[in-house]
Amino acid sequence: MQALVVYESMFGNTALVAEAIAEGLGARVGVRAVPVADAPAPLPADIDLVVVGGPTHAFGMSRRGTRSAAARQDEKAAVGERGVREWLAVAGPMHGTLAASFDTHARTRLPGSASGAIRRRLRRSGARVIAPPRSFYVTGTQGPLDDGERDRARAWGAALADAMAATVSRAG
C-alpha cells in the first residue's frame, strides 16, 4: 500500500506536521510527503491513500491573496503560486482513492478550517474519506507548533494507517 502526504506550508509548521504524519504512516505503509509545489498532477494510480493539508487562511484554504498577505508578514515565508486549492483542482478524479485532510491554525473560536474545505473537495473528486478532518495548532500566525502537536500528528498518521488497512481488508 502506498500513501502520499501533500502539504502547503508557508512558515514551516504545516511541513513539520506533514512529516510527522508521514512518519506515523511509514511504520505500516510506503509513504512520501511532498510540498504542494512538487505534488504530482494527476494523482498517480498507485496511490492508495492521499493525505492533504495546509494552513487555515481566512476560515478556509489559502488563496493567492492570503498567500500574498502571508509573504508580507515575513519575507522568509515560502509562498508559491500553487496552493492546496489549486492542486486539488488539477489532481484529477480520485475515484476509490482513500483520503484524509488536516490543517494548522491558531487556537481560536472562529469558524472554518482548511481541513474541512479540503475534505469537501476530496469527496467531490471521488475520494473515499476515511477520517474526520484534523487540526493541529500553532501558537500564532507564524508558529511555532503548540507543544505535543508533532507527537499528535505522528499518532494520527499511525491511526490513518490502521484505518487504511481496515478499509482495504473489508473491501478485499
Q: Would you list the DSSP string of 80-96?
A: -S--HHHHHHHS---TT
- Total count of residues recorded for the chain: 172
2-171: CATH, from 3.40.50.360, 3.40.50.970, 1.10.240.10, 3.40.50.300? 3.40.50.360
Grid coordinates of 151 = 507527537
Can you tell me the distance from the alpha carbon of 130 to that of 107, in angstroms, rounded to the nearest whole number? 25
On the CB side of 29, CA atoms within 13 Å amount to 28
C-alpha cell at 130: 476515511
Report residue 142 as a C-alpha cell. Answer: 507564524
Comparing CA positions, the residue from 161, 160, 135, 136 lying closest to residue 146 is 136
Tens-place pLDDT, residues 68-106: 555 556 565 555 677 898 999 999 999 999 999 999 988
The domain spans of the chain are 2-171
Give the orientation angle of helix 149-171 with respect to helix 13-26, to 10 degrees. 40
pTM (predicted TM-score): 0.90
What is the C-alpha separation between 136 and 150, in angstroms, rounded? Answer: 9
33-57 pLDDT tens trace: 999 999 999 999 999 999 999 998 6
